[in-house]
Amino acid sequence: MNPEELKVFLESLKNTDIEELRLESAGGLKVSLKKGEVDHIPEAVKPVKPSEPAAAPVNMLVPFKSPMVGTFYHSESADHPPFVIEGNHIVPGQKIGIIETMKIIKDVTSNLKGKIVKIFVKNGQSVEYGQELFQIDTADTETKK
């Protein structure tokens, strides 16, 4: 599978409800895909013309979408600080919000590593399944202590 065919294949999967896919060709090529994870993009997918100098890193803006319907909260309560704000760096497994549905509270945890560029929802706002909550720059993985 050449890089262009792989790109077309990935684009066609984007608009489906397939969460995980594993393919293995007779030629020994193995591909494993899981939605929401951006750890490594193989060099074969990113063709670079040899005559071009290496470009500066490009932002990889990835939407983080609501896992369920409910009311989104940025913090545990009004007297607690928000879990994250724009500009914060996040890591997989980090709590970045909570959603309440019918008095049941579910933690919203990141499955990405990067920097929160934009927060699209307000505290206490109703959200739908799949609604964009955050925009995350996965190219900016520098964690500050």
pLDDT band at 145 (very low <50, low <70, confident <90, very high): very low
Q: What is the pLDDT of residue 138?
A: 85
> How many other C-beta atoms lie within 10 A of the C-beta of residue 114?
26
pLDDT digits (tens, 9 = 90+) for 21-61: 676 766 666 766 666 644 455 554 455 455 555 554 555 88
Q: What percent of the chain has pLDDT over 70?
A: 61
**124: left (phi > 0), else alpha (psi -120 to 50), else beta?**
left
Of 10 and 80, which is predicted with more confidence?
80
All structural domains of the chain, each given as residue ranges with its CATH number in brackets, are 3-45 (no CATH), 61-137 (2.40.50.100)
User: Angle at CA 111, nearest 5°, toward 104 and 54?
Assistant: 155
**Any idea which of 5-14, 46-55, 88-97, 125-134 has the lowest mean pLDDT?**
46-55
Sign of the C-alpha dihedral, residues 119, 141, 138, 93?
A: negative
